[in-house]
Structure 1
């Protein structure tokens, strides 16, 4: 009996299983990296008037790795947060999981190619988050207050925080309550973020 074909098939199945585990665990990100993050400022204003990028005077400067936007408007400003921008699949997958902590007005802005239904999980997180979904027009649609998952929670058992939007803002848990930010408020995005 010729065992070579059986050994080849078992070898291929083994490689496939290892490949699936590497993809699912996110270990591939450690090898390939996520690239550079752009940076910017997100401002949240009360109400639903205006556009995602502001309604009045807007100034912007952009360098290789940073964006600074100053927006002046008549609407009340609730909060400003300095963000790293995650606009590639790899950056969105890793998110803040390699971050030990953030300052009180720091966060990450996830940018999707188009508006849709998305789900975020607390994969490998060191601190709890507020997960804020924002539609393509800059209106906040959903706010989740996400605690750390219990120790030892498998990836398949992680709670899914779902919402509709094109953007997702992650900040320290309690930020939305502290600043009064909620559903229906407007987010002014950094220049160049589409």
Structure 2
């Protein structure tokens, strides 16, 4: 697990993009939610996590961003400079969705996990609901411990 996350962090291309450019060149990972596949960009470093999906004007329905933290803790997200309405799934080490939070664009309201988590998966708002994914659902992928 640690080697996988280190490889992701080291394999990232550091871009010279300005502060108002969307980060589009992060490594990707395949995740599953039942029969649904997710192509997720991985934000594993502090800089990648702090930029997240800011300035992104659109995102395909099957894509998202997985935020990876070093250890489980209470995670809170906001949407300053984020143009898309998103839903954050706060995810435990084993892939269990702990809670979901719909987030409005360009707001500073905090949306937090209800218990310590290591992962947060952001998808277009409504993606989880349309697929019946709710707290207790398990996501799959090589990043989650079994």
2:139 corresponds to 1:187: yes
Deviations 1:39-70 (A, max 9, x none): 0111013xxxxxxxxxxxxxxxxxxxxxxxxx
The 3-state SS of whatever aligns with 2:84 is coil
2:111 corresponds to 1:161: yes
1:36: Cα distance to partner? 4.8
2:57 corresponds to 1:100: yes
TM-score normalised according to structure 2 size: 0.77
Instruction: Report how many aligned residue pairs link the two structures.
Output: 125
Larger radius of gyration: 1
Q: What is the distance in 2 between the residues matched to 1:143 and 1:131?
A: 6
2:121 corresponds to 1:121: no
Which ranges of 4 or more aligned residues in structure 1 deviate by more than 3 Å? 191-194
- Larger helix proportion of the pair: 1
Deviations 1:71-93 (A, max 9, x none): xxxxxx3x221110000000000
TM-score normalised according to structure 1 size: 0.59
2:41 corresponds to 1:41: no
Deviations 1:156-190 (A, max 9, x none): xx10000031100000000011111110000112x
